[in-house]
Amino acid sequence: MNKTQHYIKGTWSDGQGEGIPILDSVTGEQFTSVTTDGIDSASILQYGRDHGSVLRKMTFQERGNMIKKLALYLTKKKRAFYELSYRTGATKIDSWIDIEGGFGNLFANASLRKLFPNQSYHVEGDPIDLSRGGRFMAHHIMVPKEGIAVHINAFNFPIWGMLEKCAVNWMAGMPAVVLPAPQTAYLTEAVVREIIASGILPEGALQLISGTARDILDTVQSQDVVTFTGSALVGRTLRNHPQLTQESVPFTMEADSLNAAILGEDAVPGTPEFDLFIKEVRNEITVKSGQKCTAIRRIIVPEKLTEDVQIALGKALDKVTIGDPRLKEVRMGALVNDRQRQSVREQVAKIAETASIVYGNLNEVETIGADAQKGAFMKPILLREDHPLTNENAHVTEAFGPVSTIMPYKNLEDAITLAKMGKGSLVSSIVTNDNQIAREYAVSAATHHGRILILNRESAKQSTGHGSPLPNLIHGGPGRAGGGEEMGGMRGIKHYLQRCAIQGSPTTLTEVTGIYQANADYKEAEKHPFAYHWEDIQPGMSLKTHNRTITDGDIVNFANLTWDHFYAHTDITSLEGSIFEKRTAHGYFILAAAAGLFVYPNKGPVAANYGLEECRFLRPIYHNDTVYVRLTCKQKIERDVAGNEHPCGIVKWFVEVFDANPKEDQEPLVAVATILTMVQKKQLVFTEITDAVFEDALATLTEDSKPQWGAMTPQQMVEHLEFTYRIALGEIQDFEVATPEKVLDKVHATLYNYDKMPREYNFPLYEAGIQPPLKHVDLAFAKAELTRIRQEYLKFYKENPEATAKNAVFGELNKYEWYLMERKHLNHHFEQFNLLD
């Protein structure tokens, strides 16, 4: 029988000995085993640290794109993970949460790259002026820690639990070693095998110890980070490990908690909120067979509605079918193993010392398609605690299975008190259509919960539910829940970065941060900054404009144009007692006039105005005042291509408007703004196909030329190019576009990127990818025909610039898009035959 393996120090390996037998949760049959005997934890951690430099040196953009690529790769492999997940007792819906929820975390964290600079470290917050003259300042930077992230995970989400943590540490530039719980480590192993096989991550970025390595914390160092998901008892033990204390190692704990759901007093039977509450509670009891750290353990309801809730929940739970999770009619599978089922029974017995079991039976369960005795099946259990303010068992004991306890409250203050008696939880929810009730509960209970869901008829259709942690929100909670945070968007990534305050001059800190700091030295541009491509623009690159005198007519005309007739601009008889001395220019006119001074009129790499981020008017400008502008590159930001546009980035420009002739007691700076432009990146991938390049390539091609890929002969390639030119001319249009309509726009947009065409692609107009018979007598004649038809194509679109023609792959193309198609296509085939220098 195979063992669940480890991926450590670049190789797959078994532990020593037979190990712990792992059983199928549904059938009770052993199919693998887990052992960590013989694992050298210290060398595994050091291996990760030694190989971490590759991740650290990558920029946030590179890390994000790497994670996105991995997410796409794993999504294509997901079917096999579902088959294996059934062994954990999970239904298809349960597995979807674990598998695709995990992949969703990768996608979500990959998208965070847009919020970080295009460098390996982050610049946090705003600059801080440490001197009155602005020549000494500070800024905070955050750099990747030089250690390894150690993730100790629970059994209930073997895929999501790994990926929601690893996505974050990889984005930060830190490698990880993952220790899934032995009960379900085989599913984590399956995913790690695909990750390693993909070759997408650099070596050392991910290691796997399948099971519990009890000495894993013995050699952690100050640059490492440790996260733990599991029971509060085990978490407290790990947190007190002397090595963590001695090395001051960051430790994040996400522990089981007694999460509560509150039914608002307004949500009486017959209201949408009452029905939503019953549905939400039922789901949280039965999804993953209740084995969720976010499941609802305490059902807090108005005293007068206790019976209604109990009856309604009983009816809802009666509809839950239990059995083999592979069957479509089954709604709840098995617990992870019999040991877990016995643990749940024991915890229910503790709660039942003061509460009553009002639904379910600990020892009886009806199953579909499975043997209830061999599998770890359990019927949902509903308890009722009538004296929750005095009996604490239901507030301190968690049965980690399909178990929850109803408890009544007299008023909202009581409900808040009961919610807090759990001593800290990951999540609470309140179902109410009364926003005042929602507000009072949320503000009063927030001290004891990591997340609060307010659910009502308005939000229900789009709500992700009580038990769903989201990657852009924090996951964690105070007190019993562990006192830690995971995920949370940028917040989570910062957990793996070291914050450092950097002090110095604005000029120096501009170089350190990669962001222009006010009062730093300018880098005078040799030409207008808008004439540079994105790659050639650098923070500090600056242009000083010529002057413009603001006239009385300018102000009056702007008022009439915009209908902004504020008295300071139009009624000079009303200036007495105001801050204004004379007719005053509109602030937005100053900004518009500034744009008129710094905008480059010629077509160039600047594709579009992307917006205004901030603007301040520091003092008035009056008629007859003269201004000039200083335009300076402040920051560059990567941007994903969207639709039919060429690759481009965002450039933030710092705009300073100065009074050219200030009075002796006046500051010359009168306005500042940050504007954003979309700036095209250089095209360095493709050779521009001029007539000379085209002729040289064909001259180089001979009958003996061999392709680097594919089976085309030289003449087949030439005749294929001629065929596509005839399509572009509209001579051949009797075909259907092969690309499905739902993805056609996306495929069409790829013409605008700088990616090469894929090799070994079967042209859709050739039957089964087979080359058609040759139609010309020899290669020389074919080349001559290709040259002739290309000139005809160029002439046609010169004379008919509005013409379009259909392409079999990209759909309808206009003149410019055919140019893009020609450039990519000729580069593809000329490169295929080594015809380009």
Q: Is 329 helix (H, G, I), strand (E, B) or coil?
A: coil
Instruction: Report pLDDT for 93.
Output: 92
CA distances from 692 to 687, 688, 689, 780, 836 (A): 12, 10, 8, 18, 12
Q: Could you give the 3-state DSSP secondary structure of residue 811?
A: strand
* pLDDT at residue 94, as a whole number: 93
Region of 471 please: left (phi>0), alpha (psi -120 to 50) or beta: alpha
- Centre a 10 Å sphere on the Cβ of residue 463 and count the other Cβ atoms it contains: 16
pLDDT of residue 350: 95
CA 629 to chain centre: 38
- CB atoms near residue 625 (< 10 Å): 20
- Could you state, in chain order, the average pLDDT of each consecutive group of 10 residues for the chain (837 residues)? 89 88 91 89 95 94 94 94 93 93 94 89 91 86 96 92 95 96 94 96 95 91 94 87 93 91 95 96 95 94 96 95 94 93 94 95 92 92 96 94 96 95 94 95 95 93 90 90 87 94 94 90 91 93 94 90 87 81 89 91 88 91 92 90 87 94 87 94 93 94 92 93 95 92 93 91 80 92 95 95 94 95 96 91
Q: What is the pLDDT of residue 762?
A: 84
With 0-12 / 13-18 / 19 or more C-beta atoms within 10 angstroms meaning exposed / middle / buried, residue 271 is middle
Two tokens, residue 394: 């239901």
Q: What is the pLDDT of residue 798?
A: 95
| Per-residue pLDDT at 782 | 95
* Per-residue 3-state assignment (H helix, E strand, C coil) for 89-117: CCCHHHHHHHHHHHHHHHHHHHHHHHHCC
**What confidence score (pLDDT) does residue 374 get?**
92
For 667, counting Cβ atoms within 10 Å of its Cβ (0-12 exposed, 13-18 middle, 19+ buried), the class is: exposed
- Give kind and range of the element (H or E) at residue 154: none
Residue 292: C-alpha distances to residues 257, 305, 448, 522, 611 (Å): 10, 27, 19, 56, 44
Can you give the pTM of this predicted structure?
A: 0.86
Active site residues: 254, 293
Cα distance between residue 572 and residue 272, in whole Å: 60
Helices marked H in 729-774: 741-749
Beta strands in 464-589 (DSSP E): 474-475, 486-487, 497-504, 523-524, 541-544, 548-549
Rounded to whole angstroms, how far apart are CA atoms 496 and 395?
Answer: 34
